[in-house]
Structure 1
Amino acid sequence: MPKLWNETIEAHRRAVRDAILNTTAELAAEHGVRSVTMSQIAEQAGIGRATLYKYFPDVEAILLAWHDRQITDHLGQLAEVRDQTDEAGERLEAVLRAFAHISRRSRGHHGTELAAFLHRDERVARAQQQLHGMIRDLLAEGARTGDFRGDVAPDELATYCLHALTGAAALPSDAAAERLVTVIMSGLRDAEPAPTGRRPTSRHESHGHHSSGDSEH
């Protein structure tokens, strides 16, 4: 069989599989996981039931495959964003912003029941570990270059970032998510030192200064 023919068949299979995944996720989000049937999926996707069963045994398997594709795509997006610049601070901020926006979009696409079903997926824990490692490595790199604070372990700061970003899913707009990331980034950096040679004056010193000024007059 010619190579081109093989590639055409494989492309067709990918297209059918993607149609099945997308259709099932949409039905589950709209009607609830338990109400979706294989017959509905086949009809909506425009394929026969026999064809559908060649790809997946049941609705749950389809949803898990859809979720696996989502996770893989999201991690790929974050890695791509991370690699667009060399500076650790910019790389981390880009990753956090991208993750915040992904969290908001995912919440909008998932019904409550679907989200609860997918949360049990062991792939979620693995993806979180990968993301934690990505953020931790960027924090460690930034600590070495002075971009981020060195008084807290990168592993702990990565946990802080991820916990803080869980709030992004409930925010009302992308602008609100951007503001959250700005606050997080501020917390990752050392406090700005006071300008050299200047320090806040106490009320006593301030009073003494005015007194001496009065005596000059």
Structure 2
Amino acid sequence: MPKILGSSLAEHRERTRSALFAALSHLMGERGFDAVSLADIAAEAGIGRTAVYNHFPDKESLLLAFIEHETSTYVRALDASLAEVDDPVGQLRVYVRQQLQLERSYHFAPGPDLREVVSREAAMHLRAHVGQVEALLRKILTRAIEAGDIPAQHVDAVVQLVHACLSGRRVPRAEPERSEFIAATELFVLRAVGAPAAWPVRAAEVA
């Protein structure tokens, strides 16, 4: 009988899932999802291979559960940060910085793009999780347009363009390079959507 982690079956299940998520994240960061087996993940997590099947039938199911957990946690934290800012342009600044500071192993993993190595159904699930984050950006841009803070524009297209700018970027870890990189990207995005606050004030405007 496998050892129970925690004081109850519910706690055991949660701890086991957390251990598997951590192992998957670590191994994907080293090798890429396609080069990792469920047995590798179980060994890394210190969990018997057969016990893993009590939680996930295959590594694709584990991946989807991991991404759902990571995305939900991130969206809640981002939503809370955005709620502290009233100004839509200020919210966009927060959004850009939070996206760049986020370390997502399933975006930075070596090897092929995840959508190329999972089933079509799984790829659709991956896209749905990205949609949760995109919905927040869409709301920010819509508010900014309605407030007259940025010009009217095709919101759906701009959401894709902003995410293309932010996704998969390797932000420097050392300072001051890290802060400079984030500030430059923030300025680029604000200028791209036409936020007046992003443009430097000329001497003639303050004379």
Q: Partners of 2:164 and 2:84 in 1: how far apart? A: 25
Which whole-Å deviations, capped at 9, do the CAs of 1:57-80 have from their partners, x for residues lacking one? Answer: 222322222222222223223222
Judge conservation of contact 2:33–2:109 (CA < 8 Å) in 1. no
Look up the match of 1:208.
none
1:182 and 2:187 aligned? yes
Q: Could you tell me how far apart the structure 1 residues matched to 2:132 and 2:107 are?
A: 23
| Native 8 Å contact 1:107 1:169 kept in 2 | no
Cα offset, 1:89, TM superposition = 1.4
CA RMSD of aligned residues (A): 3.4
Would the alpha carbon gap of residues 159 and 36 (structure 1) be closer, same or farther in structure 2, given more than 3 Å must change? Answer: closer
**1:108-123 mapped onto 2 (5 Å cutoff):** 110-113=109-112, 115=114, 116-117=116-117, 121-123=123-125
The CA distance in 2 between the partners of 1:181 and 1:141, in whole Å, is 18
Equivalent residue, structure 2, for 1:146 = 148
Q: Which segments of structure 1 move beyond 6 Å, counting only runs of 4 or more?
A: 191-196
Q: What amino acid is the match of 2:63?
A: L
Count of residue correspondences: 189
Q: Which residues of 2 match residues 10-25 of structure 1 at below 5 A? A: 10-25=10-25
The answer to whether the aligner puts 1:135 opposite 2:140 as a matched pair is no
- Percent of pairs identical after alignment? 20
Aligned equivalents of 1:177, 1:101: Cα separation in 2: 8
What is the deviation of 1:28? 3.7
Q: Does 1:124 align with 2:126?
A: yes
Residue 61, structure 1, aligned to residue 61, structure 2: yes
Cα distance per residue 1:92-137 (max 9 Å; x no partner): 21012111222x6547852224745469622332233333332122
Answer with 1 or 2: which has the greater Rg. Answer: 1
Distance apart, 1:169 and its partner CA: 1.0
Distance 1:39 1:107 in 2: 19
Which one has a larger percent helix, Structure 1 or Structure 2?
1
In the aligned structure 1, how far is the partner of 2:23 from the partner of 2:54?
16
Stretch of structure 1 that moved more, 87-96 or 132-141: 132-141
- The two structures have a TM-score, normalised by structure 1, of 0.69
Gaps of 5+ in 2: 1-6
Task: Give the drift of 1:82.
Answer: 1.4
List alignment gaps of at least 5 residues for structure 1.
1-6, 199-217
Determine if the alignment matches structure 1 residue 81 to structure 2 residue 75: no
